[in-house]
Amino acid sequence: RRQRTFAMVKPDAVSKVGEIVTFIQDSGFEITQMKMVKLDQEQAKIFYEEHLGRSFYRDLVEYIASGPVVAMELVGNDSIANWRKLLGPTDSEVARLEVPDSLRAKFGTNNQKNAAHGSDSTFSALRELEFFFPSEDNKKQQNIR
Ligand code: CMP
């Protein structure tokens, strides 16, 4: 079924965003919203709050706030599961061994600098889309059209 999900190109891969957009579109997703933003540490902490307490949390927050990210709304059939599948394993080095066609295999570096993020549930997708594309903004955009 047709569904929305949230995708984010992380700082390590923003320089390859052209190729990544093509890869996403060629894989059957429609990009319905997209913007480049630089998060500060507070925003990065909130975005990744589900990982609070994990050993990698502090480094992750610092990394995500280290440069701009590209946030996207993707639409497609079962897009939440299918986007996660296209991403491949979290660790790009593992991805290159196990799923060489995946986005993280092609564009990522390692377990942290893994090129892109994808929502893992309908709940996360709604939260993460709202984080980057607040409904109030959407209403304003609709008024302009
Ligand atoms: P993402 O899918 O965005 O979800 C949480 C992120 O934390 C993950 O991608 C990686 O960037 C990072 N991450 C997850 N596990 C580790 C780990 N073991 N070491 C370092 N970073 C990690």
Per-residue pLDDT of the chain (145 residues; tens, 9 = 90+): 899 999 999 999 999 999 999 999 999 999 999 999 999 999 999 999 999 999 999 999 999 999 999 999 999 999 999 999 999 999 999 999 999 999 999 999 999 999 999 999 999 999 999 999 998 766 555 554 3
Of the residues 29, 71, 117, 128, which is catalytic? 117
Annotated binding-site residue numbers for ATP: 10, 56, 84, 90, 104, 114
Among 19, 43, 1, CA closest to 116 = 19
Ligand 1, pocket-test mutation among 111, 119, 124, 131, most atoms within 8 A of CB: 111
Give the amino acid at 128: E
Does the CA dihedral 20-21-22-25 come out positive or negative?
Answer: positive
Q: Of 76, 65, 89, 50, whose CA–CA distance to 10 is shortest? A: 65
Q: Give every CB contact of residue 73 below 8 A, 6+ residues apart in sequence.
A: 4, 5, 6, 7, 31, 32, 33, 34, 129, 133
Whole-prediction pTM: 0.94
On whether ipTM exceeds 0.90, the answer is yes
Cα three-residue angle 65-69-74, rounded to 5 degrees: 140
97 neighbors 110 (Cβ within 8 angstroms): no
Superfamily name and number for 2-144: Nucleoside diphosphate kinase-like domain (3.30.70.141)
Distance (angstroms) between ligand 1 centre and the Cα of 140 equals 34
Specify burial of residue 85 (Cβ count, 10 A radius: 0-12, 13-18, 19+).
middle
Q: Is 117 a catalytic residue?
A: yes
Q: How far apart are the first and last CA of the chain?
A: 28
User: Domain boundaries in the chain?
Assistant: 2-144
Distance from residue 100's CA to the centre of ligand 1 (Å): 19
pLDDT of residue 5: 98
